[in-house]
Amino acid sequence: MPGIPSNSWEVAAVHNSSKRLHIRKDKTNPRRLAYLTLLLFASPPGWPIFTLGILLVLSGVILHGWAAGYLARAGYAEREKILTVRGPYRHNRNPYYVAQMLMDAGFFLLAGRPLLFFLYFPVIFSVYQRWVTNEETFLENEFGNAYRLLKQEVPRWRFQFRPASARGSELTFQWATFKLNRELPRTLSHLCLMVTFLIYFFFGNPFIQISVLVRITVITGVAVWLLLHDVYPLETVQKSVGWALLAIVCATLTFIFLFYAPVWQPWMGISGWISISAGLGLGLLVIATMFPQFMVSRKIGKLFANPMCRLYGIVMAFGLSSCTMGGVWAGIMTAQIVWLLSVAGVLNPLSSFKSRVN
């Protein structure tokens, strides 16, 4: 998946970090899930929509790269508390986010699923809106009237073609800054995704031959993993009957689905061996993370540092080893239900699975 960069204001905020606020940001998992969904369910569109999609993606890539070339000191001049407005930041206060939404719209068009974008857009926009609100509060505290004046001159989301007056250090676009912000691999990842949809357009989507339920299972499994890995550590535990009721509803629907749906037919042949191998490998990996002295890679160990992720790995290992789709869904939903109950404060799961990975 393409990497998710930070906005210029957040990067600028790390100068003199001992005295300034770090703005906490969640990963934009909706983007990752959207791209995975498009890859699995793409249906090549006609030439007009496809061409428009390419134009939007390329426009987003160019705007993203343009902003990255100014990013290192877009908010502060180096070692000076000077509000700096150069490059795309004279046209829009959040060019990174605007560029990402342009690319997203383009990819939905390339995948032939433009209507799905209207379901996705409110989700991703709400994420960016929350980030921007926090950033603006921080900048107003730092710069006061200077930043409030900038807000009047440069729009938050709209791209104005008449630039605001430049201010701050005389910065110019620099390839060194572009590379320092890791924009080159990020640009290549977006372009590779575009090329993938070009291949789909001329040769068709190979995943269409796979069962719809299998594709949905992959998306759901990844979604639950991202939820447990990135959201649960936020410690959003609430004493809430609503979360507990949601867990009960999910458990009931899961039971009904597993009882009535034709998902218990065993996988045979190569599919069965792959499933068993994946289950055994995942189980051994989770167990190994409890003994970090035996881990070859600390990065791999950190994947399951969160106790809830260890639960997910174990139940998914059992599900895969069962060689049935039903077993995989039981594993996915077990972790989801336990997570809901833990958020509701009903239980404190996996106390014996305390993390030993630093």
Q: Are residues 197 and 89 in the same domain?
A: yes
First to last CA, the chain: 26
**pLDDT value of residue 287:** 85
Q: Are residues 115 and 234 in the same domain?
A: no
- Whichever domain contains 63, its CATH number is 1.20.120
Written as one letter, the residue type at 156 is R
Q: Are residues 233 and 193 in the same domain?
A: no
- SS3 label, residue 82: strand
Give the structural domain span for 142: 8-208
The Cα 3–Cα 156 span in angstroms is 23
Q: Are residues 160 and 217 in the same domain?
A: no
Give the tokens for residue 165: 């007056």
Q: Are residues 224 and 204 in the same domain?
A: no
Q: Are residues 121 and 51 in the same domain?
A: yes
The Cα 215–Cα 218 span in angstroms is 5
Q: Are residues 45 and 180 in the same domain?
A: yes
pTM for this model (two decimals): 0.81
Written as one letter, the residue type at 301 is G
**Cβ contact 131:23 at 8 Å:** yes
Instruction: With respect to residue 99, please indicate whether it lies within any of the assigned structural domains.
Output: yes
**pLDDT value of residue 304:** 81
Instruction: With respect to residue 71, please indicate whether it lies within any of the assigned structural domains.
Output: yes
**pLDDT value of residue 294:** 61
Q: Are residues 222 and 306 in the same domain?
A: yes
Q: Are residues 104 and 145 in the same domain?
A: yes
The Cα 214–Cα 139 span in angstroms is 47
**Cβ contact 295:301 at 8 Å:** yes
Using the 3D structure, point to which of 187, 208, 229 is the last residue of a domain.
Answer: 208
Residue 35's CB is within 10 A of a number of other CB atoms, namely 20
Instruction: With respect to residue 358, please indicate whether it lies within any of the assigned structural domains.
Output: no
Instruction: With respect to residue 2, please indicate whether it lies within any of the assigned structural domains.
Output: no
Instruction: With respect to residue 184, please indicate whether it lies within any of the assigned structural domains.
Output: yes
Residue at token pair 């987003």: 60
Q: Are residues 187 and 244 in the same domain?
A: no
**pLDDT value of residue 349:** 55
Instruction: With respect to residue 291, please indicate whether it lies within any of the assigned structural domains.
Output: yes
**Cβ contact 201:38 at 8 Å:** no
Residue 135's CB is within 10 A of a number of other CB atoms, namely 22
Using the 3D structure, point to which of 208, 227, 245 is the last residue of a domain.
Answer: 208
Q: Are residues 202 and 221 in the same domain?
A: no
**pLDDT value of residue 54:** 96
- SS3 label, residue 81: strand
The Cα 319–Cα 278 span in angstroms is 10
Instruction: With respect to residue 1, please indicate whether it lies within any of the assigned structural domains.
Output: no
The Cα 126–Cα 107 span in angstroms is 19
**Cβ contact 217:258 at 8 Å:** no
Give the tokens for residue 135: 């950033």
Q: Are residues 196 and 54 in the same domain?
A: yes
**Cβ contact 115:49 at 8 Å:** no
Using the 3D structure, point to which of 208, 234, 259 is the last residue of a domain.
Answer: 208
How many separate domains does the chain show?
2
Residues with Cβ < 8 Å from 226, sequence gap 6 or more? Answer: 27, 29, 32, 33
Pairing, β 76-77 against β 80-83:
antiparallel
Instruction: With respect to residue 3, please indicate whether it lies within any of the assigned structural domains.
Output: no
The Cα 311–Cα 313 span in angstroms is 5
Local confidence pLDDT in tens for the 358 residues of the chain: 333 333 433 333 333 333 333 333 456 788 999 999 999 999 989 999 999 999 999 999 999 998 888 765 545 544 456 676 788 888 888 898 999 999 999 999 999 999 999 999 999 999 898 888 888 888 888 778 888 888 888 888 888 888 887 776 666 777 777 887 788 899 999 999 999 999 999 999 999 999 999 999 999 999 999 888 876 544 555 566 777 888 899 999 999 999 999 899 999 999 899 999 999 999 988 888 877 666 556 667 777 878 888 899 999 999 999 999 999 999 999 999 988 888 877 766 554 444 444 4
Give the tokens for residue 142: 């730092």
- Helix H or strand E segment including 257: helix 241-260
Alpha helices, DSSP H, located in the chain = 8-12, 29-41, 47-68, 95-110, 114-143, 145-153, 175-180, 183-203, 212-226, 241-260, 269-289, 298-303, 307-321, 325-343
Residues with Cβ < 8 Å from 42, sequence gap 6 or more? Answer: 110, 111, 112, 113, 197, 200, 205, 207
Written as one letter, the residue type at 200 is Y
